[in-house]
């Protein structure tokens, strides 16, 4: 017999649990399905939250061919074979066949490159699923052709609803008469993962050969015989602990930062995920107060990729302590946020002519580059001239923070002015 997770796999949005921000009334994916026009997208979220199920519901709703590839066991050859098949089987008026790629973050650059033309020409509609940030794992040209939708771990209420659906509707469990006496352990072991919850219910059912199944915390612990920490890796605590880790670094508390690092290591967290967060923290929270922090974080990332675990815990710990013990500044982070906000409000203002490049005679005749002063030709390698668009000359984004490193930057800028 199929596992419980397969027996209960939803076939429409009406019995799909969770992700209401995407599939609820008026939400983006529901509107897309109702319109019948499906564009390529990537589903990003932790395991067991319904990425594969959602892709299958999309395909069955629009009634188009559905091909599945797993990045774990296929290469460029298999990708091209599916694309060729999609070309042969597609009719002019029919929607593009859907190609679902599970764990797309594991695809190499060449494998991802092989998808570009087919996605761009509409030969296939790509739906990718990934547990990793697509910004890091999916090549930019492919990412620019896909929307990214973020799926969330199921809430406790959603997990309880799923458990009750399983108990009351599944062909096996409804005959066994399951009683939910206590749910804390069941929910904690599930960690926001629907598949994990259903697998646990499968295991509990098999542990009681006959009679009523009474689910209590002790019964769950006895059957699973392991720490719930192992199940929290991709659940709600995944986000809570990384948040505590970053806030401890930002708050200059190396002891707390090391504790949360240890929690992630013991919970089986992906070391590259931790290393990426260190790189972000070095740029966002330490910034120009200690530019070496970014070098340290990048070095830790490289070391983890080269040596793996368990030794990788050492450079991660070294970078964690260094970042937590460094002076803090978010001046660059605040500066770019302010600049981006202004760009969104002011649009594409023209570049002053003297700052433009003039690679052709026509551009030179139009005044491109004319009047530009080369700073290295002037004392102190500085000359006053206009660098901002005409209407933004008084705008100001960077304010040096009060730390030793940025005081030197402020002194230099002051001398220039």
**Three-state secondary structure string covering 337-358:** HHHHHHHHHHCCCCCCHHHCCC
Which residues are 357's β-sheet partners? none
- The closest of 322, 326, 320, 324 to 249, measured between CA atoms, is 324
- The predicted pLDDT at position 90 comes to 66
- The closest of 86, 145, 144, 138 to 112, measured between CA atoms, is 138
* Contact by Cβ (8 Å): 163, 193: no
- The predicted pLDDT at position 234 comes to 47
- The predicted pLDDT at position 231 comes to 35
Query: Quick one: CATH architecture of 348-416?
Result: Orthogonal Bundle (1.10)
Q: What is the C-alpha to C-alpha distance for residues 103 and 115, in angstroms, rounded to an integer?
A: 15
Tell me the CATH number for domain 236-324: 1.20.272.10
Hey, how many other C-beta atoms are within 10 angstroms of the C-beta on 90?
17
Give phi and psi for 80, each to the nearest 5. Answer: -65, -35
pLDDT lower than 70: segments of the chain: 72, 90-94, 225-238
E strand residue ranges, 158-231: 178-180, 213-215
Question: Residue 288, SS3?
Answer: helix
- Do the first three CATH levels of 156-228 and 236-324 match, i.e. the same topology? no
Q: What is the C-alpha to C-alpha distance for residues 372 and 355, in angstroms, rounded to an integer?
A: 6
Per domain, the residue ranges of the chain are 19-150, 156-228, 236-324, 348-416
* Contact by Cβ (8 Å): 56, 98: no
DSSP-derived pairing of the beta strands 178-180 and 213-215: parallel
- The predicted pLDDT at position 91 comes to 62
DSSP state of 124: S
DSSP-derived pairing of the beta strands 66-70 and 98-102: parallel
Angle between helices 271-281 and 254-266 (to 10 degrees): 160
Q: What is the C-alpha to C-alpha distance for residues 247 and 241, in angstroms, rounded to an integer?
A: 10
Q: Is 287 exposed, middle or buried (0-12, 13-18, 19+ CB in 10 A)?
A: buried
Q: What is the C-alpha to C-alpha distance for residues 80 and 187, in angstroms, rounded to an integer?
A: 42
Tell me the CATH number for domain 156-228: 1.10.8.60
Show the tokens assigned to 367. Answer: 């005044």
Residue with tokens 């199944």: 213
Q: What is the pLDDT of residues 374-390, one digit of tens each?
A: 989 888 888 898 888 98
3-state helix, strand, coil in the chain (%, to 5): 60, 5, 35
Question: Residue 330, SS3?
Answer: coil
CATH topology for 19-150 is Rossmann fold (3.40.50)
* Contact by Cβ (8 Å): 328, 248: no
- The predicted pLDDT at position 281 comes to 94
- The closest of 413, 7, 379, 391 to 198, measured between CA atoms, is 7
Which residues are 149's β-sheet partners? 43
Q: What is the pLDDT of residues 392-415, one digit of tens each?
A: 888 888 888 888 988 988 888 888
């Amino acid at each position: 017999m199929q596992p419980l997770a397969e027996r209960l796999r939803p076939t429409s949005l009406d019995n799909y649990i969770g992700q209401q921000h995407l599939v609820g009334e008026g939400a983006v994916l529901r509107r897309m399905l109702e319109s019948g026009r499906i564009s390529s997208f990537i589903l990003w979220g932790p395991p067991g939250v319904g990425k594969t199920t959602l892709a299958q519901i999309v395909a069955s709703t629009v009634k188009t061919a559905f091909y599945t590839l797993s990045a774990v066991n296929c290469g460029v050859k298999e990708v091209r074979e599916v694309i060729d098949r999609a070309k042969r089987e597609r009719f002019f008026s029919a929607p593009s066949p859907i190609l679902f790629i599970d764990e797309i973050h594991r695809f190499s650059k060449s494998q991802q490159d092989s998808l570009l033309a087919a996605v761009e020409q509409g030969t296939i509609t790509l739906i990718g699923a990934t547990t990793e940030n697509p910004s890091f794992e999916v090549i930019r040209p492919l990412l620019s052709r896909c929307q990214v939708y973020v799926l969330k771990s199921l809430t406790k209420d959603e997990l309880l609803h799923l458990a009750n659906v399983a108990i009351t509707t599944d062909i096996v469990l409804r005959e066994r008469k399951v009683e939910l006496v206590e749910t804390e352990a069941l929910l904690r072991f599930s960690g926001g993962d629907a598949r994990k919850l259903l697998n646990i219910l499968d295991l509990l059912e098999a542990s009681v050969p006959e009679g009523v199944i009474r689910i209590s915390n002790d019964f769950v612990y006895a059957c699973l015989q392991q720490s719930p920490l192992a199940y929290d890796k991709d659940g709600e605590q995944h986000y809570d602990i990384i948040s505590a880790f970053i806030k401890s670094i930002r708050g200059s508390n190396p002891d707390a930062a090391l504790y949360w690092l240890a929690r992630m290591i013991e919970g089986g967290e992906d070391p590259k995920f931790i290393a990426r967060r260190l790189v972000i923290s070095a740029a966002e929270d330490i910034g120009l107060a200690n530019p070496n922090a970014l070098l340290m974080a990048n070095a830790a990332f490289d070391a983890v990729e080269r040596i793996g675990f368990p030794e990788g815990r050492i450079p991660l710990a070294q970078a964690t302590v260094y970042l937590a013990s460094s002076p803090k500044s978010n001046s660059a982070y605040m500066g770019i946020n302010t600049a981006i906000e202004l760009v969104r409000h002011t649009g594409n203002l023209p570049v002053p002519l003297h700052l433009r490049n003039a690679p052709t005679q026509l551009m030179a005749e139009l005044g491109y580059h004319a009047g530009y002063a080369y700073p290295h030709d002037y004392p102190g390698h500085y000359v006053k001239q206009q660098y901002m668009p005409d209407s933004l000359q008084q705008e100001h984004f960077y304010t040096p923070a009060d730390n030793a490193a940025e005081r030197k930057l402020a002194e230099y800028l002051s001398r220039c002015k």
